[in-house]
Chains A and B, each alone.
Chain A
Amino acid sequence: MATVKDFRNDIRPNWCPGCGDFSVQASIQRALASLGKEPHEVALISGIGCSGRISGYVNTYGFHGVHGRALPTAQGVKLANRDLTVLASGGDGDGFGIGLNHFMHAVRRNMDITYIVMDNRIYGLTKGQTSPTSAHGFTAKTTPSGNIEEGLVPTQVALSAGIGFLAQGFSSDVNQLVGLIEQAIQYKGFSLVNVYSPCVTYNKINTYDYFRDNIFNLDKVEGYDPTDFLAAQRAITEHDGLVTGLIYRNDNKVAYEDQIPGYQETPISQADLQVSDDIFTAALREYA
């Protein structure tokens, strides 16, 4: 059986020392190992940005595509091979800026994919511009006199779109994060783990200390019921989205793959592609 070591490779991430993304990388590796996955059974599809590089840093099949499109790419991979464990990953700009449309629709579609977002509330790889999750008033190169747009709250958006599994973590709490990623992968349907993953180089406002001081950990709330939609809604609203833990889980949803008419158990990637003469002849006859 594969161990954490088997999910590591020899590539040194190009992240800055202290970047929150290192913890996310380690958490994914630990979660996959503890779930008993083999590296070749996993495909990690990522977007563009510092965090998008993660598909190169975990020893699984990896696809680093175009900016903002990790989710549709990942859904394509899943459709071709439903046996694969498909993870999609990227940053807040990738997922909630250029890719927000795809995020909302991936939630609606509900394929069995786990989406892990490294949310640092800034564009890092392009050297420090305001992001869609940056708060109102946030100053950065593109908002020198303060952000006049409101920051997007990913958990709120996800819940509104009808997500079946919603969790949020923080790079400083790896043990919690590993558990959340494990549960997300086990969930049969689309799951989001949004991770506050501080950028130590460009974001001097939303620092490790900022998150430590402001995060409300739902795991410590006695009696919090993650299957209670209204409780989840309230928790997010009351804390301006700054909650961690398993926020919401709906066990009554059916994954997209399990609803496709005629979809087979055998992955399409292994299926015989030749169409039988019977099916073809019947199809052609409709044009007689």
Chain B
Amino acid sequence: MLDQLSWKVGGQQGEGVESTGETFAVALNRQGYYVYSFRHFSSRIKGGHSNDKVRVSLKRFRASNDYTDVLLAFDQESIDLNVGEVRQGGIVIADEKFKPTAPDHVRLFVVPLTKIAEESGSAIMKNMVSLGASACALGLPVDIFTEVIEERFRRKGQKVVDQNMEAIQRGYDYMKDLGGADPELALKPADGTRRYFMMGNDALGLGALAAGVRVMPAYPITPASDVMEYLIKKLPKVGGVVVQTEDEIAAMTMTIGANYGGARALTCTSGPGLSLMMEAIGLSGMTETPTVIIDTQRGGPSTGLPTKQEQSDYLAALFGTHGEIPKIVLTPATPEECFYVVGDAFNLAEQYQCPVIIMTDLQLSLSKQSTDALDNKAVKIDRGLIATSEEAAANQASGEFKRYAFTESGVSPRIFPGTPGGIHKVTGNEHFENGRPAEPAGNRQKMMDKRLGKLAHVELEGSVVRTGDENPDVVIVGIGANVGAITEASEMLRADGYKVAHAQLHAILPFPVQMLQDAIHDGKKVVVVENNATGQIKHLMNFFGVSHPDVQSLLKYDGQPFLPSEIHAKIKGMF
């Protein structure tokens, strides 16, 4: 019996590949297995190969792996493109309709998926037939699907539910008659622990809801749009609004306007949109207006690889704006972290009155995975310094409200428009304490020092999380979704006899110089793992003065996420 298995469904985009994968994954997640799914898709709506790989296990993995036990193919192309990763003796289940062929290293089971579906009521149910056949191969009872099918089709009536369940049962029976039940592929039973199943983007949306976001101006872009589409459904329940703007410049400036106006407003984009927002991010920094921007990274530059994994916006996020402003850049790695990071981002934005960029990557944003319970009560809303009407009145006695009063911390109380006694001016020009444009050299220098001083010498709590062995042979530095592949590769290296530590970056601005230095100092070797071509995080370590005699880059920029085995092999090769 297996501790883990990998199952993959492939077909033409738009023919139910995603929903087949989703049904399979949700059903197994509800049994208490850990599930991690990764979708391969293209920037088109119908047609073109797509697949959904689901990894099921008794312990948590946050990465895909390099082999497949069971491949479900809706067309020959799905076999041709994916059979190479089906392991020796693995199973391919294919529709009789296209007269499938497969190489000898796999066991091919030809099932009349479409025909059985048609007999059960509709050809569209071929994915259900295939799920039944899969269940048989894996030694799983068909009733694991009952709940999911009922929830999905209840609205269409009991008859549809019954037809779908029948299709699943018939697929199961057909596979059984073919002798497709393989005791070796049977999964060990799970403990039944209930977890959620979501992608990073889902968690960001939930996080925004809990963080008090009530305004979201945004422009659709892959792989960010889910967050916007989610909040379009949810914000009306709490009196909020999503505006689909004309472009990302409007999204960013509208976000600034709403935050200035007293809301908690957020925008979400990907690389091309981030580039368009740069001038306005400078405005947020200059006017000390808190804002939160989510950047779900994808393959760049330009339109690049819109549906593929990459982590190449870090330097843009840190240095893209002209001029010099205080800024915070947070880098969650899991859906759980995506949830809590939104509240943290707003608290930091309002505490330091500056822009905060949350950076995910396509793999983290779109990979659905087993997720622990998320706690609404643990999300605290701290809006930073806001002057009361009385304070404003006292302040006003000396003239105008000094929105940019010089203070010890560099942070001056905000006041929202509409408040009596708080009238002041805000400008993206350099300004005096009362917000009026100002050019005098002395004031300029003091204001620059005030703004930049807010984050000088700050290292945010939890910016680096170090796990693993003491005095290791290698410290692997990771960011974003790479957390999963690194964790697993570390175990493989340990099995080879190496001592391994893992330093995961959760914030890269302010760059956690001391924390990272402490996290790598005892390693013989440091390897920085990132999905880009130039080693941006490694550059940042150099730039900010994190030093170590042996730092190497492990890069991948072909659009695919890292596999644990790749990191394992490459690091092993460095010794």
A131 proximal to B (CB < 8 A): no
Stretch at the interface among B105-113, B412-420, B451-459, B465-473: B412-420
Taken together as a complex, chains A and B put the C-alpha atoms of A211 and B417 apart, in Å, by: 37
Taken together as a complex, chains A and B put the C-alpha atoms of A66 and B278 apart, in Å, by: 11
Q: Known contacts being A61-B424, A269-B263, is A76 close to B436, with CB within 8 Å?
A: no
Find out whether the CB atom of A268 lies under 8 angstroms from the CB atom of B239.
yes
- Measured between C-beta atoms, what is the minimum distance from A145 to chain B in Å? 32
Question: Which residues 383-441 of B sit at the A interface, judged by CB distance below 8 A?
Answer: 400, 416-429, 435-437
Question: Which residues 254-288 of A sit at the B interface, judged by CB distance below 8 A?
Answer: 260-264, 266-271, 273-275, 277, 279-281, 283-284, 287-288
A64 proximal to B (CB < 8 A): yes
B246 proximal to A (CB < 8 A): yes
Taken together as a complex, chains A and B put the C-alpha atoms of A55 and B431 apart, in Å, by: 14
Q: Cβ of A65: which chain B residues have Cβ within 8 Å of it?
A: 253, 256-257, 280, 283, 287, 428
Find out whether the CB atom of A273 lies under 8 angstroms from the CB atom of B264.
yes
- Measured between C-beta atoms, what is the minimum distance from B267 to chain A in Å? 10
Q: Cβ of A264: which chain B residues have Cβ within 8 Å of it?
A: 239
Stretch at the interface among A77-85, A150-158, A179-187, A241-249: A77-85
Interface core residue of B235, B236, B263, B282 (most chain A CB under 10 Å): B263
B261 proximal to A (CB < 8 A): yes
A197 proximal to B (CB < 8 A): no
Q: Cβ of B360: which chain A residues have Cβ within 8 Å of it?
A: none
Find out whether the CB atom of A275 lies under 8 angstroms from the CB atom of B212.
yes
Find out whether the CB atom of A76 lies under 8 angstroms from the CB atom of B214.
no
- Measured between C-beta atoms, what is the minimum distance from B422 to chain A in Å? 7
Q: Cβ of A53: which chain B residues have Cβ within 8 Å of it?
A: 437
Question: Which residues 360-382 of B sit at the A interface, judged by CB distance below 8 A?
Answer: 371, 373-374, 376-377, 381
Stretch at the interface among B49-57, B195-203, B504-512: B195-203
Question: Which residues 192-225 of B sit at the A interface, judged by CB distance below 8 A?
Answer: 194, 196-198, 202, 206, 209-212, 214-215, 217
* CB closest chain-B residue, reference A282: B237
A73 proximal to B (CB < 8 A): yes
Find out whether the CB atom of B427 lies under 8 angstroms from the CB atom of A56.
yes
Question: Which residues 55-72 of A sit at the B interface, judged by CB distance below 8 A?
Answer: 55-56, 59-66, 69, 72
Interface core residue of B251, B256, B424, B435 (most chain A CB under 10 Å): B256
Find out whether the CB atom of A80 lies under 8 angstroms from the CB atom of B262.
yes
A102 proximal to B (CB < 8 A): yes
Q: Known contacts being A43-B417, A273-B264, is A69 close to B425, with CB within 8 Å?
A: no
Q: Cβ of A214: which chain B residues have Cβ within 8 Å of it?
A: none
Taken together as a complex, chains A and B put the C-alpha atoms of A64 and B282 apart, in Å, by: 13
Find out whether the CB atom of B261 lies under 8 angstroms from the CB atom of A269.
yes
Q: Known contacts being A64-B428, A65-B283, A275-B238, is A79 close to B250, with CB within 8 Å?
A: no
Interface core residue of A56, A74, A83, A104 (most chain B CB under 10 Å): A56
Proximity string of chain B (33-57) to chain A, C-beta cutoff 8 Å, 1 when within and 0 when not: 0000000000000000000000000
Find out whether the CB atom of B257 lies under 8 angstroms from the CB atom of A72.
yes
Q: Known contacts being A264-B239, A273-B264, A284-B196, is A40 close to B423, with CB within 8 Å?
A: yes
Q: Cβ of B217: which chain A residues have Cβ within 8 Å of it?
A: 72, 76
B170 proximal to A (CB < 8 A): no
B254 proximal to A (CB < 8 A): yes
B279 proximal to A (CB < 8 A): yes
Find out whether the CB atom of B257 lies under 8 angstroms from the CB atom of A77.
yes
Question: Which residues 255-312 of B sit at the A interface, judged by CB distance below 8 A?
Answer: 255-265, 279-280, 282-283, 287
Q: Cβ of B318: which chain A residues have Cβ within 8 Å of it?
A: none
Find out whether the CB atom of A81 lies under 8 angstroms from the CB atom of B209.
no
* CB closest chain-B residue, reference A88: B257
Q: Cβ of A1: which chain B residues have Cβ within 8 Å of it?
A: none
B234 proximal to A (CB < 8 A): yes
A41 proximal to B (CB < 8 A): yes
B483 proximal to A (CB < 8 A): no
Q: Cβ of B237: which chain A residues have Cβ within 8 Å of it?
A: 262, 279
Q: Cβ of B197: which chain A residues have Cβ within 8 Å of it?
A: 287-288
A11 proximal to B (CB < 8 A): yes
Q: Choose among B245, B282, B418 the residue that contacts A84 (Cβ–Cβ < 8 A).
A: B418
Q: Choose among B239, B253, B260, B261 the residue that contacts A72 (Cβ–Cβ < 8 A).
A: B253
Find out whether the CB atom of A288 lies under 8 angstroms from the CB atom of B196.
yes
B247 proximal to A (CB < 8 A): yes
Q: Cβ of A41: which chain B residues have Cβ within 8 Å of it?
A: 418
Taken together as a complex, chains A and B put the C-alpha atoms of A261 and B381 apart, in Å, by: 25
Taken together as a complex, chains A and B put the C-alpha atoms of A146 and B283 apart, in Å, by: 36
Find out whether the CB atom of A76 lies under 8 angstroms from the CB atom of B241.
no
- Measured between C-beta atoms, what is the minimum distance from B388 to chain A in Å? 13
Taken together as a complex, chains A and B put the C-alpha atoms of A191 and B437 apart, in Å, by: 28
Give the size of the chain A interface in residues (CB under 8 angstroms): 60
Taken together as a complex, chains A and B put the C-alpha atoms of A38 and B250 apart, in Å, by: 29
Taken together as a complex, chains A and B put the C-alpha atoms of A279 and B210 apart, in Å, by: 10
Q: Choose among B258, B376, B428 the residue that contacts A76 (Cβ–Cβ < 8 A).
A: B258
Q: Choose among B214, B249, B417 the residue that contacts A271 (Cβ–Cβ < 8 A).
A: B214
Find out whether the CB atom of A284 lies under 8 angstroms from the CB atom of B206.
yes
Find out whether the CB atom of B254 lies under 8 angstroms from the CB atom of A73.
yes
Q: Known contacts being A72-B249, A260-B241, A288-B30, is A81 close to B214, with CB within 8 Å?
A: no
Q: Cβ of A287: which chain B residues have Cβ within 8 Å of it?
A: 196-198, 202, 371
Q: Known contacts being A268-B262, A283-B206, A283-B234, is A61 close to B214, with CB within 8 Å?
A: no
Taken together as a complex, chains A and B put the C-alpha atoms of A264 and B425 apart, in Å, by: 28
A39 proximal to B (CB < 8 A): yes
B240 proximal to A (CB < 8 A): yes
B187 proximal to A (CB < 8 A): no
Q: Known contacts being A64-B429, A277-B376, is A76 close to B210, with CB within 8 Å?
A: no
A75 proximal to B (CB < 8 A): yes
Q: Known contacts being A102-B246, A268-B262, is A76 close to B215, with CB within 8 Å?
A: yes
Proximity string of chain A (158-174) to chain B, C-beta cutoff 8 Å, 1 when within and 0 when not: 00000000000000000
B243 proximal to A (CB < 8 A): yes
A142 proximal to B (CB < 8 A): no
Find out whether the CB atom of A77 lies under 8 angstroms from the CB atom of B417.
yes
Find out whether the CB atom of A274 lies under 8 angstroms from the CB atom of B259.
no
A45 proximal to B (CB < 8 A): yes
Taken together as a complex, chains A and B put the C-alpha atoms of A283 and B196 apart, in Å, by: 12
Taken together as a complex, chains A and B put the C-alpha atoms of A271 and B313 apart, in Å, by: 35
* CB closest chain-A residue, reference B380: A274
Q: List 22 A-B contacts (CB under 8 A).
A: A11-B436, A40-B417, A40-B420, A61-B417, A65-B287, A72-B245, A74-B257, A78-B261, A79-B254, A79-B265, A80-B261, A81-B417, A262-B235, A268-B258, A268-B262, A274-B212, A277-B376, A279-B209, A280-B209, A280-B210, A284-B206, A284-B373
Binding site for A on B (CB under 8 A): 30, 194, 196-198, 202, 206, 209-212, 214-215, 217, 234-241, 243, 245-247, 249-251, 253-265, 279-280, 282-283, 287, 371, 373-374, 376-377, 381, 400, 416-429, 435-437
- Beyond the given pairs A81-B263, A84-B261, 14 more chain A to chain B contacts, judged by CB atoms under 8 angstroms and listed by A's residue number, are A43-B418, A55-B425, A61-B423, A63-B287, A72-B253, A75-B254, A76-B217, A79-B257, A80-B265, A101-B247, A104-B246, A269-B263, A269-B416, A271-B214
Binding site for B on A (CB under 8 A): 9, 11, 38-41, 43, 45, 48, 53, 55-56, 59-66, 69, 72-81, 83-84, 101-102, 104-105, 109, 260-264, 266-271, 273-275, 277, 279-281, 283-284, 287-288
